[in-house]
Amino acid sequence: MAKAKFDVPELKEEVDVPAIQEGVMAHLAPFVAAKDHQTDLNFPPELVDDWHQKTLEKMDDLRKRYRSFQVFLDSCVKCGSCTDKCHYFLGTADPKNMPVARQDLLRKVYRRYFTFAGKYFPKLVGAKDLTRETLDEWYSYYHQCSQCRRCSVFCPYGIDTAEISMAAREILDSVGYGQKYCNEIIAKVFKIGNNLGLPGPALADTLEGLEDDVFDETGIEVKYPMDQKGAEILLITPSADFFAEPHVDGLIGYGKVFHEAGVSWTLSSYASEAANFGMFIGSYENMRRVSRRIRKAALDLGVKRIVFGECGHAWRVAYSFLNTLAGPFDFLDPDYPVPQHILEFTWDQIQKGNLKLDKSANDDMTLTFHDSCNVARATRMGDRPGGQLEIPRNVIKAVCNNYVDMDKDTIGEKTFCCGGGGGLLTDDLMEIRVKGALPRMTALKNVMEEEGVTHMAAICAICKSQFTKVLPYYGMDMDQIVSVHQLVSNAIVLTGQKPGDDGEEAAAEEAATGEAAPEVEV
């Protein structure tokens, strides 16, 4: 990997709100989608000749279809409440990365063409003509937003910049100016079934390998089934779980929990992806098309329940939108929520006492937890508001002895995005990813120094990938990021598992002597 061509921010005790520096991030834009990436999603292959008219038409269409868009365009009073809340502004100092200024890129055009004041007194209300440069500016700055909704927490009118940035990307796509990363990935889901383009046989191979690994480690045959008709539970998980560290350790954990719970479950090769990048590009139609694959898989396999693996925006689409996009799910067991999060499932099993847990297996770590933005601010787990913040912590505390939270202003509903969400998890946007991680890196560094934290757990494939890549820029180690179900996996003592067959106790002992746990070979 080419090292930084930009300055990595210096970590201090606190993140200072920077003085604005105009235009410092104007150079950054992601690769533009190739023609076939566009057409696969029913978008024009390249910028259309009548982009001016088409842009305004799309804007008009969206404001009539989305109340959020119309109300948010009208309601902002420029109070400035959001100006110091975005991690990308804090990390770059570019004023167009302040949520209100990011919204204004689009609002200026809205005012110019759709409001009385903007039509007749544009200078007075800051309305601007739509030009070719406007589109470039949108393309640049709406791809410096991870749609994390932190700004919406602090806005007195609940204006959510994510809604504006989704609308902007939808407009850009509709005139043929889409982003390569997102659109290429969505096309892969349509054609192959997952973001990574892993075909069914490769998945089957991987799962078989996992079964072997778990057997070697524990002496127990834990199954990782795929396309098994009649299974009770369909597990939908981000495709990163199939191959990358630390994601795959989480998948191993899900399997162990299902095994101990005594339920039959299966993955689907057709719907082998929890992520839904249709949300990032603001395309209801594409998001719906991806979601309906899950409905089809559930029907084809005849399952009774749907459970989602660890993934942030995927859980948003699943929890908040799946019923809307692909429901009604009246063919599933009405005794369980549709869908359920794997953490809801695991926490339920822990409470019922169905899992034998050895917390000391994680004694080599002191954990903290990164609330994924989409989970914290756009979803729920369990019955009560805030369950999405409590349940992950409850599970971690049930499987680990050492846990501390980061600064309260950086977790919970105020959590900072990892810096790579919202369709920015691509190397061509590395600069904004690294700079945007500053607030989280600062909070992590503080608990490392003050509380002796060694690892940070996450429940999102994007967070995990982003941190793995970005931690080294800040002088930390990529292995410090772990999956929550990796911790669960470490602690579970499988029924029938003989002491000595497992690596857990050895690891705990080694940790006590300060040495790394050895790989266990049988």
Cα separation, 359 vs 402, in Å, equals 9
| Candidate residues 129, 285, 450, 479; the one interacting with other proteins per rule CB under 8 A | 285
Contact flag: residue 388 with other proteins (CB under 8 A) = yes
Give the shortest CB-327-to-other proteins separation in angstroms: 5
Picking from 66, 486, 64, 19, the residue whose alpha carbon sits closest to that of residue 284 is 66
In this structure, how many other beta carbons lie within 10 angstroms of the beta carbon of residue 212? 11
For the CB of residue 340, give the shortest distance to other proteins in the complex, in Å: 9
Sign of CA dihedral 129, 132, 45, 325: negative
Measured from the Cβ of residue 169, the count of other Cβ atoms closer than 10 Å reads 27
Locus of tokens 């410096």: 144
Q: Which two tokens stand for residue 500?
A: 């000595």
65 scored as a contact of other proteins (CB under 8 A):
yes
The only residue of 1, 2, 124, 516 in contact with other proteins, by rule CB under 8 A: 124
DSSP 85: T
Minimum CB distance to other proteins, residue 138 (Å):
17
DSSP class of residue 234? Answer: E
No. of H helices and E strands in the chain? 24, 7
CA–CA distance, 263 with 326 (Å, rounded to integer):
25
| Contact between 335 and other proteins per CB under 8 A | no
Q: Between residues 171 and 196, which has the closer beta carbon with respect to other proteins?
A: 171
Residue 80 makes contact with other proteins by CB under 8 A: yes
Sheet holding 233-236, edge to edge: 265-266, 233-236, 305-308, 340-341
Q: Which of 6, 57, 70, 211 is in the footprint of other proteins by CB under 8 A?
A: 70
Three-state DSSP at 130 gives coil
Site for other proteins in 149-168 (CB under 8 A): 149, 152-160, 163
Which stretch, 214-222, 371-379, 422-430, 440-448, contacts other proteins (CB under 8 A)? Answer: 371-379
Residue ranges in 218-277 that form contacts with other proteins under rule CB under 8 A: none
Q: Which of 230, 386, 452, 518 binds other proteins (CB under 8 A)?
A: 386
**Residue 415 near other proteins by CB under 8 A:** no
Closer residue to other proteins, CB minimum distance, 17 or 478:
17
Amino acid at 494: L
Based on CB atoms, which residue is closest to other proteins, 113 or 154? 154
| Shortest CB 153 distance to other proteins, Å | 6
Residues 1-40 that bind other proteins (CB under 8 A): 17, 19-20, 22
Q: Which of 236/487 has CB closer to other proteins?
A: 236
Interacting residue with other proteins among 126, 200, 219, 225 (CB under 8 A):
126
Residue 79 touching other proteins (CB under 8 A): yes
CA distance linking residue 23 with residue 101, whole number of Å: 12
Give the range of 121-129, 192-200, 222-230, 422-430 binding other proteins by CB under 8 A. Answer: 121-129
CB count within 10 Å of CB 512 equals: 11
H/E run at residue 374: helix 373-378
Torsion-angle region of 198 (φ positive above 0: left; ψ -120 to 50: alpha; else: beta): beta
Q: Does 282 bind other proteins (CB under 8 A)?
A: no
The yes or no reply on residue 328 touching other proteins (CB under 8 A) is yes
Residue 115 binds other proteins, judged by CB under 8 A = yes
Q: Is 488 in the site for other proteins (CB under 8 A)?
A: no
Cβ proximity to other proteins: between 90 and 470 the closer is: 90
Q: Looking at beta carbons only, is 422 or 503 nearer to other proteins?
A: 422
φ, ψ for residue 426, nearest 5 deg: -135, 150
Report the alpha-carbon angle 311-212-490, nearest 5: 50
